[in-house]
Amino acid sequence: MNINIESGKIFGNLGKIKILPSELTVICLKKLSDGEEKVFKASEFKNCTASKNGDGFSVVLSSPAGICDFDVLVDVCVKGEKVSLKTQIKNNNPDFTVMYADYPHLVFEGSDYDAFLPKYGGIAEKNIMTSDCSHKLEDMLSYPCGFHYTMQYFAFWNSTASLYTAVHDENGALKRFGFETNKEKQSVEFVCRYPAEGMGLGANSFSLAGEMVWQCFEGDWYDATLIYKDFVINNAKWLGEKYRPDTPESFKNIPLWVMDWLPNLPGNPDPLPESVRPKEENPDPERWIKRPIALKEKLGIPIGYHLYNWHTIPFNNDFPHYFPEKDGVKEGIKKLKENGISVMPYINAKLWDTLDKEDTDFEFSSKAKKWAAKKLDGSVYTEQHASHEKTGELCTLAMMCPTTGFWHDKISEVVGKLFYELGVDGVYMDQIAASMPRPCCDKNHDHSPGGGSWWVRGYDKMLKRLQKEKPAYGYLTTECNAESFAKHMDGFLTWVWLHSNSVPAFSVIYSNYVTMFGRNTNGKKADDTPFFKSNLAESFLYGQSLGWINPQVLSDPEKLDFLAKIAKLRYEKTKVFTHGTLLRPPSVTSDIPDTCSEPAMSFTEPYIVSYVKSGIWQREDGKCEIYVINTSNKSANAEIVFEKSKYDLDFSKLSKQCGNGSFEVKMSDKTVLIKALIEPDDYVVFQV
């Protein structure tokens, strides 16, 4: 390995990978006197001094465009096939504030690379030179964010080389990642941008969180995931005790989730969002009670119930004034619990409506605005959804800063009433792990203005308090699965894991630490039975609790029959998924051709249904279980292939544990082939 520094750029060879000249940083400076912003590349700094330092270099960049009292320090450590880079910003100039600074850029040469992206539960993209998965660097996506990047590592590999790149930041601070392919030069540029700490303040010196890591390895997304998993287990501040003993076993043991909502009150025409709304209307005011009970009786397993619209205020309107609840809610919850259903109502843990009593400003300006997240110009961060004021205008909801005791008190009040007055089992706190942190610049809040890890710490403090205040049986969940919110969150609603090129990377790392539940097969995909069954099977193989379906599945015999089989198996195998380890998935082919369907939700990529799916989990006792699921209504001849070198297993002891179908095993020096006939809408479980 040969790494060099010259004129503010880093280049050389990392194993078989050629690192092209890459900027050691790019920074944005703002002149406080006139507000002018300028962007400077490291190669444009007046001075660059690199000196040998142990296993690497110490680099000092100074005086961009002649600006005095401004330096960037980059420490480069080179060990074996790994390069670690730490960056410090030394701004001692009171006339300028840093707006952002980049970690060292990575530009590498090579074609035909596949890529792992830490979106959702993990995405594996084929041949990024010809796909549309890369994006312009000015459109970088945020971490930690359930709709952007949930983890902070990436991988690129082809037939000759594999490259792991990550920011190993134990605190999970706000960052923006991006990579862009250059088809003409056959190169890839990977960038991570850090919103500045002390943004808006002159002389704001800070260190970029963690360290940038470039590492050669052998393998694909799974091997890269093991590298990142090692960092997480040994360093991440959001990981506490293994198996989360503070999470109630009753919550971990729920194999299936349903979701439903109470009808709107008269005078509120706004429906719930289409993505979570079943097709049919809700004429029976007690349907929300009757149908989950009927489904539980039909399936004979525990059910979790995500309850929407229980409050008198409209949905996404007048937040956070949820109480009083609608008539009959307390009695309905009691009846559901008496029938063995775990009830978890919805609240939003981020937003306060700016017109929070119908079309008037009730308490926002007088109480909440002071504690809302602010932009650098002092204006409040807001967002809008498909909810309307009586004037017909969209509701404008303010994002509350999670560091403030005011917001902690308000959420504590709401959550406490739900547990101790309505008697719920858990509370779903929307958006915490879904929405990107905002670089709040309110100097009166308990954090430095701009970027950093304080957004995560603020929610961590709030959730730690709620965990102490809730009853022992209670649990807390949120939307999506940004990893850095896992410390005090019992469950993540993984409803957007809906891509046919997904891989279970998040499950490999977090399966026995935080419960992942549900996928969204409602909305415009409600009539797509192959999509429903495909996602149900894949959820099972990923170790997720199943469903997040509407109880109207009772009226669909094909869906219901398949659901009954897979959900009962999931319940029987609970300990495998809560205490086991997801091993490298085998390759699977079958004689049933794939089919293509429309994308889910607002995604743009078509969903490819592969009808036979397989996965392998290692139990706590060391034995492994191989699951093969046929989601087709036809018998499937399937071939499941394991590369022996990737598993420390004695495949000669493989046997059928349960399920319907015949099989034979063929072994060569390098592979194990299971040829199985799987009955329609059925499964086979093997043990080794």
- For position 118, which CATH number holds? 2.70.98
Indicate the pairing of strand 56-64 with strand 45-53: antiparallel
Q: What are phi and psi of 336, to 5 degrees?
A: -60, -45
In 3-state terms, what secondary structure has residue 246? coil
Q: Is the pLDDT of residue 413 over 70?
A: yes
**Number of domains the chain contains:** 3
In a domain, 398, yes or no: no
Indicate the pairing of strand 515-517 with strand 397-399: unpaired
Amino acid at 21: P
Q: Is the pLDDT of residue 138 over 90?
A: no
pLDDT of residue 336: 98
In the block, tokens 């007048």 appear at 318
Q: Closest by alpha carbon to 530, among 617, 428, 625, 634?
A: 634
CA distances from 525 to 201, 366, 556, 609 (A): 49, 43, 14, 13
Residue 242 CB burial class (10 angstroms; 0-12, 13-18, ≥19): exposed
pLDDT of residue 270: 83
Residue 284: pLDDT band with limits 50, 70, 90: confident
- Cβ contacts of residue 325 below 8 Å, gap of 6+? 310, 311, 312, 422
Dist CA 658 CA 408 (whole Å): 49
In a domain, 303, yes or no: yes
**pLDDT tens-place string over residues 495-551:** 999 999 999 999 999 999 999 999 999 989 999 999 999 999 999 999 999 999 999
Q: Quick check: 56 and 147 in contact, CB under 8 A?
A: no
- Cβ contacts of residue 135 below 8 Å, gap of 6+? 141, 178, 179, 180
Average pLDDT over residues 301-319: 97
Structural domain containing residue 179: 2-235
Residues 573 and 600 in one domain: no
Please give the structure tokens belonging to residue 407.
Answer: 């917001």
Residues 511 and 643 in one domain: no
Residues 130 and 274 in one domain: no
**pLDDT tens-place string over residues 424-457:** 999 999 999 999 999 999 999 999 999 999 999 9
End-to-end CA distance of the chain: 41
What would the 3-class secondary structure string for 215-228 be?
EECCCCHHHHHHHH
Q: What are phi and psi of 588, to 5 degrees?
A: -135, 135
Residue 271: pLDDT band with limits 50, 70, 90: confident
pLDDT of residue 266: 84
Beta strands in 472-621 (DSSP E): 475-479, 491-493, 515-517, 546-549, 581-582, 587-590, 595-597, 607-609, 612-618
Domain stop point among 235, 255, 279 = 235
Using alpha carbons only, give the angle 12, 172, 19 rounded to the nearest 5 degrees.
10
- Cβ contacts of residue 621 below 8 Å, gap of 6+? none
Residues 486 and 628 in one domain: no
How confident is the prediction for the chain on average, in pLDDT? Answer: 95
Residues 116 and 194 in one domain: yes
Dist CA 566 CA 571 (whole Å): 9
**pLDDT tens-place string over residues 57-115:** 999 999 998 899 999 999 999 998 999 999 999 999 999 999 999 999 999 998 899 99
Dist CA 119 CA 100 (whole Å): 23
In a domain, 452, yes or no: yes
In the block, tokens 């003409």 appear at 184
Q: Quick check: 520 and 601 in contact, CB under 8 A?
A: yes
Residue 281: pLDDT band with limits 50, 70, 90: low
**Other beta carbons less than 10 A from residue 602's beta carbon:** 10
Residue 280: pLDDT band with limits 50, 70, 90: low
Kindly state the helix (H) or strand (E) to which residue 558 belongs, with its residue range.
Answer: helix 557-572
pLDDT of residue 279: 66
Residues 300 and 430 in one domain: yes
Dist CA 518 CA 480 (whole Å): 10
In a domain, 656, yes or no: yes
Please give the structure tokens belonging to residue 65.
Answer: 């465009």
pLDDT of residue 402: 98
Can you give the pTM of this predicted structure?
Answer: 0.97
**pLDDT tens-place string over residues 666-684:** 999 999 999 999 999 999 9
Average pLDDT over residues 153-157: 98
Beta bridge partners of 342: 304
**Other beta carbons less than 10 A from residue 674's beta carbon:** 23
**Other beta carbons less than 10 A from residue 32's beta carbon:** 15
Q: What are phi and psi of 368, to 5 degrees?
A: -90, -35
In 3-state terms, what secondary structure has residue 127? coil
Please give the structure tokens belonging to residue 445.
Answer: 């809040």
Q: Is the pLDDT of residue 278 over 80?
A: no
**Other beta carbons less than 10 A from residue 587's beta carbon:** 12
Q: Is the pLDDT of residue 242 over 80?
A: no
**pLDDT tens-place string over residues 460-476:** 999 999 999 999 999 99
CA distances from 372 to 7, 346, 442, 586 (A): 43, 21, 9, 48
Average pLDDT over residues 2-25: 95
Q: What are phi and psi of 237, to 5 degrees?
A: -75, -15
Domain stop point among 577, 610, 640 = 577
Domain stop point among 523, 543, 577 = 577
Residue 134: pLDDT band with limits 50, 70, 90: low
pLDDT of residue 66: 87
**pLDDT tens-place string over residues 567-616:** 999 999 999 999 999 999 999 999 999 999 999 999 999 999 999 999 99
Bond prior to 278 in cis (omega within 30° of 0): no
Helix axis angle, 557-572 relative to 287-299, nearest 10°?
Answer: 60
**pLDDT tens-place string over residues 472-490:** 999 999 999 999 999 999 9
Q: Is the pLDDT of residue 274 over 80?
A: no
Residues 565 and 631 in one domain: no
Amino acid at 55: D
pLDDT of residue 216: 97
Residues 9 and 142 in one domain: yes
Contacts by 244-247, CB closer than 8 A, 24 or more apart: 244/490, 244/513, 244/514, 246/467, 246/490, 247/475, 247/490, 247/491, 247/514, 247/515
pLDDT of residue 241: 73
Q: Quick check: 128 and 188 in contact, CB under 8 A?
A: yes
- For position 414, which CATH number holds? 3.20.20.80
In a domain, 47, yes or no: yes
Q: What are phi and psi of 89, to 5 degrees?
A: -105, 120
pLDDT of residue 285: 86
In a domain, 255, yes or no: no
What would the 3-class secondary structure string for 262-329 be?
CCCCCCCCCCCCHHHCCCCCCCCCCHHHHHHHHHHHHHCCCEEEEEECCECCCCCCCCCCCCCECCCH
**pLDDT tens-place string over residues 158-199:** 999 999 999 999 999 999 999 999 988 999 999 999 999 999
Residues 312 and 225 in one domain: no
**pLDDT tens-place string over residues 59-74:** 999 999 889 999 999 9
In 3-state terms, what secondary structure has residue 465? helix
Beta bridge partners of 259: 306
Query: Please, what's the largest Cα pairwise distance for the chain?
Result: 77
Residue 282: pLDDT band with limits 50, 70, 90: low
Q: Closest by alpha carbon to 230, among 276, 186, 170, 182?
A: 170
Average pLDDT over residues 361-372: 98
Residue 263: pLDDT band with limits 50, 70, 90: confident
Residues 66 and 167 in one domain: yes
Residues 558 and 612 in one domain: no
Residues 458 and 591 in one domain: no
In a domain, 341, yes or no: yes
pLDDT of residue 668: 95
In a domain, 71, yes or no: yes
Average pLDDT over residues 243-268: 92
